[in-house]
Amino acid sequence: MKITGLKTLVVNAEMRNWVFVKVETDQPGLFGWGEGSLEWKTRAVVGALEDFEPMIVGEDPRNIEHLYQKMYRQSFWAMGAIGMSAISAIEQALWDIKGKDLNVPVFELLGGKVRDRVRMYTHLGGGDMKAVYETFAVEPLIEYAKSVINKGYSALKVVFVPYSKTIEGTKKVKQFAHMFGKLREAVGPDIDIMVDFHGRTTPAMAIQYINAIEEYHPFFCEEPVRPENIDSIKMVTDRTKVPIATGERHISIYQYKEIFEKNAVHVIQPDLCHCGGLWAAKKIAAMAEVYNMGVAPHNPLGPVANAVALHFALSTPNFLIQEDMLTDVPWRWDVVETEITSKNGYWAVPVKPGLGIEINEAEAKKHPFKQEIIHSNTIRDEDNAILDW
């Protein structure tokens, strides 16, 4: 069996563009789908996928690790988020091909299932960017949260950490704690609440914010500071009692090394569309298992990414919970054909070979590429200085 080519398909889902890749083979009707969606870098990822095509054409798609090594090592230059997203998409498609060729679901090739269903959580407001990132008042916060719970979820994520300078006064800390307290009161003690700091704060402020909400028992606090400095993340972890998570902006197994060596967090969050794909994520999870860390993969992306995450979760013992954004656009499931189902905040075990999902290319082409909202241009301090969003 040989790879004969790859095709990219970009689908605009309002908040972001989905980047799908189709890896084709010389076996009639046998191909695989992957996803490398990377916000605000859509055209760059498509270009990287085109650059990788001549490296894999003529190769046997079943030799997944071999092809990963070829793309990663023979590229010479270290891969950044763009290159790794392209590699991830291709790698996922290779697993899809192998599962179809062997007539088994992909999770069976990853060691078999270790659980019978996969717990999910979602964001407030679905695909509404302002709802997700700019809900800073109590009433809409509670309204959005109850809407999530009414869909059957027992866990949700909020992103109402104030946009912060290096040091802030007590006003923002008190407002943040007030909102979280009202949210906990509204949803009760049995709903798990994750707080995404989105790298908006420094260690000094993250410690104050987290300590101010400790009594309300967040499930974890995500990316409390920008991810580049592991010592800064470790500082927050050491000075707070709430579980700390990071990892969505770390790519490749090598970027996780320092996190593990320093026991910097309690939960890691690799994105299977950016970290190198399924097998790379399994390696990262195996390293995390040694350090007693849970794995809660990042994934606010498209339906192929959902399928990939499902197979990972089913086969990974230290998996914790899976992010989704299943209500971002009303036509989300029109562009794919799948038997993958979710109910009451859980995904069921798929039975179809491969990833269990196919792109309806005709439907997908009804939503061509559009420039995403450049959200970061709007986040400025009162003196017009740029802040992390």
Looking at the fold, whether 192 and 329 belong to one and the same domain comes out as: yes
Looking at the fold, whether 300 and 170 belong to one and the same domain comes out as: yes
The domain total for the chain is: 2
Residue 127: its pLDDT value, please?
66
What pairing do the DSSP bridges indicate for beta strands 346-347 and 118-123?
A: antiparallel
Tell me the CATH number at 35.
3.30.390.10
Q: Which of 2-11, 111-120, 282-291, 322-331 has the lowest mean pLDDT?
A: 322-331
Q: Which residue has the tokens 């605000």?
A: 40
pTM of the model: 0.94
Question: Please, which residues bridge with residue 295 across strands?
Answer: 268, 319
Tell me the CATH number at 168.
3.20.20.120
Checking if the pLDDT of 384 tops 90, the result is no
Residue 378: its pLDDT value, please?
67
Q: And the tokens for 155?
A: 């866990």
Looking at the fold, whether 93 and 144 belong to one and the same domain comes out as: no
User: Does the residue 244 lie in any domain?
Assistant: yes
Looking at the fold, whether 85 and 144 belong to one and the same domain comes out as: no
Checking if the pLDDT of 255 tops 60, the result is yes
**Number of Cβ atoms within 10 Å of the Cβ of 250:** 25
Q: Considering Cα of 289, then 340, then 368, then 135, what sign does the dihedral take?
A: negative
Q: What is the pLDDT of residues 303-329, one digit of tens each?
A: 999 999 999 999 999 999 999 988 889
Looking at the fold, whether 183 and 269 belong to one and the same domain comes out as: yes
Structural domain harbouring 27: 3-105
Looking at the fold, whether 166 and 182 belong to one and the same domain comes out as: yes
State how far the alpha carbon of 215 is from the alpha carbons of 174, 187, 212, 235, 237, in Å: 14, 15, 8, 20, 16
Q: Can you tell me the mean pLDDT for 119-126?
A: 87
DSSP 354: B
Catalytic residues: 198, 298
Residue 243: its pLDDT value, please?
98
Q: What is the pLDDT of residues 12-22, one digit of tens each?
A: 998 899 999 99
Looking at the fold, whether 134 and 213 belong to one and the same domain comes out as: yes
User: Does the residue 359 lie in any domain?
Assistant: no
Q: What is the pLDDT of residues 204-221, one digit of tens each?
A: 999 999 999 999 999 999
Looking at the fold, whether 75 and 118 belong to one and the same domain comes out as: no
User: Does the residue 254 lie in any domain?
Assistant: yes
Looking at the fold, whether 75 and 123 belong to one and the same domain comes out as: no
